[in-house]
Amino acid sequence: MKQYLLIDIGGTFIKYSLTDAHAQKVSGGKVPTPLTGMDDLLAAIEGFAAPWKGQFEGCAVSMPGRIDTKRGIAHTGGILSGFMWEQPFAALLEQRLGVPVTIANDGKCAAAAEAWTGSLAGVDNGLVLVLGTGIGGGIILNGKVYMGSHSAAGEVSNLVTELGSMEGDDFRFDVIGKVAESPVWAGKASASGLIAAYAAEKQLPAHGPQPTGEEIFAAYAAGEPEACRALKKFARRVALGIIGLQSVLDVERVAIGGGISAADALLPAIQTELDDLFARCPVFPMLEPELVRCRYGNDANMIGALKLFFERNPA
């Protein structure tokens, strides 16, 4: 049985798994993500891969940033961008592991997983939205993940939502960690945006402890007015972005993922707002897409990374 090493590099942890060709896990774990430099990152990966040396045929990596999967280049690396900038990361890993390596953007990996055997299976044109700290995006066109001309398709976090605030000559947006405070879609419609909306409804101090998504949905289930207003506002903002994307992409189905997508109340809330907006705007030429929950949770990035590996390395 052929086996593969799958890696999901996140801002806090690197998750890894030894799987078969169907992404069925044999073994796995996680380690803290080194943010100190390339050598430390490579050493961490080499360290957890060492016990499995000779047992895997290749390595598939999901990671943040603008990633050229075809050439194996990480043009940026999200939170890793302090050292992950225009780096031949796939080649560097191949030197350490001694097997073929592919790298791909995490949003595109999530889309690949859902299109392979998940909520977008059999769909020609679809969209995955992962509501996390930002908004991960992956576009399926004609049954395949659309990478774009510069490997940047699906970076939906950066959809501009507040034109006026960006018109001044003094405008700058150059700190990734400030996304929640920026005039882009991720600032309002990510999980961070939901927390901010709830904190505003509760008039919580900006520098005090912030509620978690679980606490917000628990308050919503209990009928708390502030939680109900915050979720409605948040769902409206997500729906507005979907309309903007639909006007360009004309997809059949939109799959919602991310940690908060597990909450039973989220999808119906977004569906209600999307239905309402389309009903209020009969002049829209596009049709309302079907809205579904992503099938795969925390394993989506690794599953999709394997699918993209097979596209680059046919069995």
- pLDDT digits over 2-39, tens only? 999 999 998 889 999 999 999 999 999 999 999 999 99
Residue 142 has pLDDT above 90, yes or no: yes
| Residue 177 pLDDT exceeds 70 | no
Confidence of residue 215 (pLDDT cuts 50, 70, 90): very high
pLDDT surpassing 60 at residue 75: yes
* Cα–Cα distance, 279 to 267 (Å, whole number): 18
The whole-model pTM stands at: 0.91
Q: Kindly state the tokens that stand for 300.
A: 């989506």
- Region 100-105 average pLDDT: 97
Superfamily of domain 3-109+299-312: ATPase, nucleotide binding domain (3.30.420.40)
pLDDT given for residue 179 in this prediction: 60
Q: Could you tell me the CATH superfamily of domain 119-293?
A: ATPase, nucleotide binding domain (3.30.420.40)
**Which one of 204-208, 248-252, 257-261 scores highest in mean pLDDT?**
248-252
Cα separation, 101 vs 97, in Å, equals 9
Average pLDDT for 143-148: 96
Average pLDDT score over the chain? 93
Q: Taking residues 178-199, report their average pLDDT.
A: 84
The pLDDT of 227-231, averaged and rounded, is 98
End-to-end CA distance of the chain: 13
| Structure token pair of residue 206 | 């900006």
Q: Which of 116, 243, 112, 140 is nearest to 189 (CA)?
A: 243
Residue 192 token pair: 């961070």
**Residue-level pLDDT at 113:** 97
List the alpha helices (DSSP H) in 1-152: 38-49, 89-97, 106-117
| pLDDT of 180 strictly over 90 | no
Q: What is the pLDDT of residue 165?
A: 80
Instruction: Considering the chain, tell me which residue range(s) the CATH 3.30.420.40 domain(s) occupy.
Output: 3-109+299-312, 119-293
Distance from C-alpha of 73 to C-alpha of 52, rounded to nearest angstrom: 25
The residue-averaged pLDDT of 267-273 equals 98
CA distance 171 to 166: 6
